[in-house]
């Protein structure tokens, strides 16, 4: 490979995913600065991105997904998980389930109380509002003029309405807007769509900025390492095809490669556990053991019943696929508009819980997760996916090799905490109770998962260790904090070096309640404000 003449920009943004898209848009609004946006993947042209129901073809697709495989999980019989990460403009917002969740207001207050000044709910609420374009909820909490379209589900399955009623009978209150004043309750889903089509971060924030002369978007550009003079980050080296390029940043380099990608790039550049880096032939620059650690993920369990009405998993394949595609193209209606959840609940798994600690998502589907991706069930069924909102289990991302083409080592015992197991059991028993309510009697055939044989705690534990899967919400591997072990400070500056920030879900101190895409975009919007304030001060 040969190296070309260095390019120079004011800001270099690494990764055009949920965070990078927002950041590049905000920074390039300032016309007197130049921005380079680097994305290892390609343009977002695939129909698997834009047709919501086609997400099962996007996850695990190597043209759109990094398709990382974890190490065998000893807490689940050595199961090997697929850890998806978007490898395309829009990043994971181009292949995710589109459910829009901000997190509970208390989550951000917890960040502030843990030493992350400026990240309380009142601090971050203006950024959530600036991003959104929605007619949902109260304008005191919701945004009306942003780039991110958040809409109700276009075609709600009849059994989702039944689930809503049964959940309320089981004690979960109705909540008109779980992204409003409070999160608790059963609600209709809010999705990142526009007229039944996926509305990714690329659609929302890259497309409006694409024609700006001060923004350069470079796809198929994989960053190999960050470039330093002493402890000052001067830019990046990246590979595009057989060519090696160098780009310099006059002001700052902004790492937005996600919870799996950002720690890899830091470690390859010498920021991480020094002894482990030396073993791989990487010269340490900053010895920071926390880089790649604190990997958090929501463990998810499934309760499912067979039903006597058609469900969306049975609509996949065959001649009806053509009808559903036509319905989507002409009217933006029908199963093709559908991500997984048709009802969403945030609930307390036990009366003494001080806040909702489980999330429940009802889908008119049945499927299984494999190393290859998502595999549909062949009979009509509905499924409730339950996750523990604040899991205590932790993992780590580390380098397998100094080679930028080598996948990371992902180690995570998803069920290493008995507390997490107990939360899943309580959530699953609540869902079993909901499916047993009178509202489901005309539709229920039998319990499919876990089945009536599972009753005792030991039987639940055995079932969960065989079947629990990932929520696809990794966070925490470049943890923000004010303590000496934190990877970034509350300004998102990497500790120990200058002119380098991490801006993505990896900076979250811990898990939040619900899906993480919305909070990731908020982080980027707040980061843009911090960066521009810093630039003005300089």
Helix (H, G, I), strand (E, B) or coil at 218: strand
User: Nearest-CA neighbor of 523 among 12, 21, 14, 2?
Assistant: 21
Helix (H, G, I), strand (E, B) or coil at 433: helix
Backbone angles phi, psi at 497, to 5 degrees: -135, 175
Catalytic residue selected from 245, 298, 342, 473: 473
Catalytic annotation on 245? no
Rounded CA gap, 246 and 38, in Å?
Answer: 12
- In DSSP terms, 374 is beta-bridged to 369
In the block, residue with structure tokens 């109770």: 433
Query: Which residues, in sequence order, are CB contacts of 245 under 8 Å at separation 6+?
Result: 3, 4, 7, 221, 237, 238, 239
Backbone angles phi, psi at 106, to 5 degrees: -65, -25
Is residue 183 within 8 A of residue 104, CB to CB? The reply is yes
Rounded CA gap, 299 and 303, in Å?
Answer: 14
What would the 3-class secondary structure string for 260-325 be? HHHHHHHHHCCEECHHHHHHCCCCCCEECCCCCCCEECCEEEEEEEEECCCCHHHHCCCCHHHHHH
Stated as kind and residue range, the H or E segment containing 38 is strand 35-38
Phi-psi sector, 109: left (phi>0), alpha (psi -120 to 50), beta:
alpha
Helix (H, G, I), strand (E, B) or coil at 430: helix
Report, as residue numbers or ranges, the catalytic residues: 473
């Amino acid at each position: 490979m040969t190296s070309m003449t260095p390019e120079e920009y004011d800001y270099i943004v690494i990764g055009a995913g949920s965070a990078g898209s927002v950041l590049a848009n905000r920074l390039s609004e300032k016309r007197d600065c130049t921005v380079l946006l680097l994305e290892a993947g390609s343009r977002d042209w695939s129909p698997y991105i834009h047709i919501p129901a086609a997400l099962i073809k996007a996850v695990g697709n190597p043209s759109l997904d990094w398709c990382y495989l974890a190490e065998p999980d000893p807490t689940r019989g050595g199961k090997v998980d697929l850890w998806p990460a978007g490898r395309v403009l829009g990043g994971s917002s181009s292949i995710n389930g589109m459910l829009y969740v901000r997190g509970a207001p208390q989550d951000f207050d917890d960040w502030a109380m843990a030493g992350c000044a400026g990240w309380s709910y009142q601090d971050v609420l203006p950024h959530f509002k600036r991003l959104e374009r929605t007619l949902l909820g109260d304008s005191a909490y919701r945004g009306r003029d942003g780039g991110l379209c958040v809409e109700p589900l276009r075609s709600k399955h009849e059994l989702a309405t039944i689930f809503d009623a049964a959940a309320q009978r089981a004690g979960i209150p109705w909540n008109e807007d779980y992204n409003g004043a409070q999160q608790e309750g059963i609600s209709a889903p809010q999705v990142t769509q526009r007229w039944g089509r996926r509305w990714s971060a690329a659609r929302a924030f890259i497309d409006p900025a694409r024609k700006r002369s001060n923004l350069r978007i470079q796809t198929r550009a994989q960053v190999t390492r960050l470039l330093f003079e002493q402890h000052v980050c001067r830019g990046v080296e990246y590979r595009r095809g057989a060519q090696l390029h160098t780009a310099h940043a006059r002001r700052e380099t902004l790492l937005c490669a996600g919870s799996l990608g950002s720690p890899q790039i830091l470690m390859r550049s010498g920021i991480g556990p020094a002894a482990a880096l030396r073993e791989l032939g990487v010269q340490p620059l900053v010895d920071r053991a926390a880089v790649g650690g604190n990997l958090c993920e929501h463990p998810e369990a499934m309760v499912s019943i067979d039903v006597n009405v058609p469900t969306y998993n049975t609509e996949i394949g065959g001649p009806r696929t053509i009808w559903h595609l036509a319905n989507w193209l002409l009217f933006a209606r029908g199963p093709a508009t559908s991500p997984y959840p048709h009802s969403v609940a945030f609930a307390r798994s036990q009366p003494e819980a001080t806040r909702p600690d489980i999330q429940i998502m009802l889908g008119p589907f049945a499927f299984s997760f494999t190393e290859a991706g998502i595999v549909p069930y062949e009979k009509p069924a509905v499924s409730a996916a339950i996750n523990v909102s604040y899991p205590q289990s932790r993992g780590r991302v580390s380098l397998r090799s100094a080679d930028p083409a080598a996948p990371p080592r992902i180690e995570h015992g998803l069920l290493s905490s008995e507390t997490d197991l107990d939360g899943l059991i309580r959530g699953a028993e609540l869902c079993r109770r909901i499916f047993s309510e009178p509202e489901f009697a005309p539709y229920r055939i039998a319990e499919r998962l876990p089945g009536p044989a599972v009753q005792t705690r030991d039987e639940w534990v055995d079932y969960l260790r065989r079947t629990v899967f990932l929520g696809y919400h990794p966070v925490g591997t470049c943890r923000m904090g004010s303590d000496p072990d934190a990877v970034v400070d509350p300004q998102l500056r990497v500790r120990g070096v200058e002119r380098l920030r991490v801006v993505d879900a990896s900076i979250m101190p811990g898990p939040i309640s619900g899906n993480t895409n919305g909070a990731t975009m908020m982080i980027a919007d707040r980061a843009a404000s911090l960066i521009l304030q810093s630039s003005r001060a300089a």
